[in-house]
Amino acid sequence: MTVQNGAQNTRAIAAQIAEVFQEVLGAAELPDSDAGFLDMGGDSLTAQRAVTLLGSRLGVRITVRDLFRAQSADALALVAVRRLAAA
């Protein structure tokens, strides 16, 4: 994988994560990929829904702890990319 392809993949995953955030939070608009999950109104229940959806859509295990530590779709995408590369 080249650096450019890796960056494109990370951006694509961040976009998918932002879509999940929008879905579980009931947001009218797609949130910015650098917006914090908790700042957007997320809580432990919506976080659990989000990580369940992300696991099935991305094919990688993401935990609630990962989500709370990363906060944004951009940061969580880096976690997902690292785990996908390690698999």
The CATH number of the domain where 70 resides is what? Answer: 1.10.1200.10
pLDDT at 70: 97
- Average pLDDT on 9-25 reads 96
What is each CA distance from 24 to 14, 82, 84, 85, in whole angstroms?
Answer: 15, 24, 23, 27
Domain count, the chain: 1
Q: pTM, whole model, 2 decimals?
A: 0.89
- Mean pLDDT score of the chain: 91
Q: Is the pLDDT of residue 28 over 90?
A: yes
Please check the confidence at residue 61 and state whether its pLDDT lies above 50. yes
> What's the pLDDT at 4?
45
Secondary structure of residue 58 in the 3-state scheme: helix
* Domain that residue 60 falls in: 3-86
**14's tokens:** 């961040």
Interatomic CA distance for residues 45 and 6, integer angstroms: 31
Q: What's the pLDDT band for 87 if we cut at 50, 70, 90?
A: confident
DSSP code, position 31: P
Separation of alpha carbons 59 and 50, rounded Å? 13
Q: Does residue 1 surpass a pLDDT of 60?
A: no
